[in-house]
Structure formats: structure tokens, C-alpha cells
Chain A
Amino acid sequence: MSVSGITRASRAHPGFVAALIHRLSGLALAIFLPLHFLSLGLALETESFAGFVAWTNQPLVKVSEALMVSALAVHFAGGLRLLAVEFFGLTRALSLWIALAFAFGLGVGVLFLMRAF
């Protein structure tokens, strides 16, 4: 197999997809965190905090929040899988655990949407 063939094959591997999604969800959370902390810091003035929280009840904001909640849940579940692989020698049923981690993340996001609307 050529080098590019090996690269393509390894990128089709569930472990590659899992690592990529873990990294992208982590980046999204790292970008979101300072904004999250800044908006909570508005509680130093009760009025501006009330205005901000009221603003978050718009449908588009709720959907964005659902995406962040999903990112947190996917990053959490993917991270647990990673810890299990590194510290508890989990190697079998790789795809199953990856699929379960994604399902957990999506499930939490859907649950958030169902409760939010």
C-alpha cells in the first residue's frame, strides 16, 4: 500500500474520527469558556445579567447552547474512553465505545433541546 493509501486507510479508522472529534469539540469548548465566564461575570450587576439571561431564551441561542452542551458531553464521553484506553488497557470493541460516546453526546444535546423548547 502506498503512503497516501495508508494515510487514507488510517483516516477511515474509527480511532482517527474519534480523535478528530475529541480535538474539535475540545477546541470549541476552549473558545466558549472565556465567553461563558464573561457572561456569568455580568452577575456583578444584577440588571445586566438579567438582560443577558433573557437574551439567551431566543430559539437560535438555545440551539447554539444545545451544540455546546453536546460538545461537552461528546468531549466528556470521548475523554472517558481515552482514559480507559490509556489507563485500563481498553482495546477491544473500539468502535462500539466510540459509537457509544457519540450517542451519549448527541443524546444529551437532544435532551437539552427537548427541555429547552
Chain B
Amino acid sequence: MTPLSYLLQRGTAMFMAPLIIIHLIVIIMAVQGGLSAEEILARTRGSIVWGSFYGVFVFAAAIHAGIGVQTVLREWTPLGRLASANIGHTLITILWVLGARAVYAVVWA
């Protein structure tokens, strides 16, 4: 892990800690009585607060996941440093795109 990867990994972890607590509370509250699309979208549609919350959450989670997967690949597979880094960076990019699309879909679509 390069110094930059380390700082990004720990930095995103610290940044996400309060967001995860809120996410867990929302999940536990929302699951009562079964989930429905109307219920989810009623909470998120047009909400700048939830849009910003999930927007920054997705952005940080993508970085955290990409660096984590890169580290696991390098330590647990025969892939070299460069191949692991390429896969990690690709995963970050894919998660940014899919995550931004998901936030757009539940908040603004």
C-alpha cells in the first residue's frame, strides 16, 4: 500500500464512520413492516439532504472498496502490484459511475 493509498483508505474510513451509523439506523427503521418502493422513494425523492448524504457516501465508499480490493489482490493472489492497482482503480471508477447513477435514480429521476 502506498502512503497515498493508506491515507485515502484510513481517511475515507474515518469520514464514513458517522455515515454508516446513520445508514444502519435508517436500514433498521425502514425494514419494519417490509420494504416498498414508494416508502423508499418518498424519503429520498427531491431531498437535497439525502442526495448529498448518499452522494458523498458513495464517493468515499468507492475509494475505500477499490483500495481494499487492490490490497487483498496483491496479498492473496499472484497478481502483481500494477495489475492489482489497475483492477482497484477500475473498481473505483465503476463504483463511482454506478453509485452516482443510483443516487440520481432514487433522488432526482
A binds B: yes
Q: A: which residues have CB within 8 A of B?
A: 23, 26-27, 29-30, 33-34, 36-38, 40-44, 46, 49-50, 52-54, 56-57, 62, 65, 69, 72-73, 76, 79-80, 82-83, 86-87, 108, 111-112, 115-116
Q: Which of B11-63 contact A (CB under 8 A)?
A: 13-14, 17, 20-21, 23-24, 27-28, 31-32, 34-38, 40-41, 58, 61-62
A56 to B94, CA, bound (A): 24
Interface of B is mostly: helix
Please state if B95 and A34 are interface contacts (CB–CB under 8 Å): yes
In the complex where A30-B65, A41-B105, A69-B27 touch, is A53 in contact with B40 (Cβ < 8 A)?
A: yes
Q: Is the CB of B37 within 8 A of A49?
A: yes
Contacts of A43 in B (CB 8 A): 37, 40-41, 102, 105-106, 109
A86-B10 in contact (CB<8A): yes
Which B residues lie at the A interface, using CB under 8 A? 10, 13-14, 17, 20-21, 23-24, 27-28, 31-32, 34-38, 40-41, 58, 61-62, 65, 68-69, 72, 91, 94-95, 98-99, 101-106, 109
Our count of residue pairs bridging A and B at CB distance below 8 angstroms stands at 101
- What would be 15 A-B contacts, judged by CB atoms less than 8 Å apart? A37-B98, A38-B98, A40-B102, A40-B106, A43-B37, A44-B104, A50-B36, A53-B40, A57-B34, A72-B23, A72-B24, A80-B17, A108-B28, A111-B28, A115-B31
Contact A116 B31 (CB under 8 A): yes
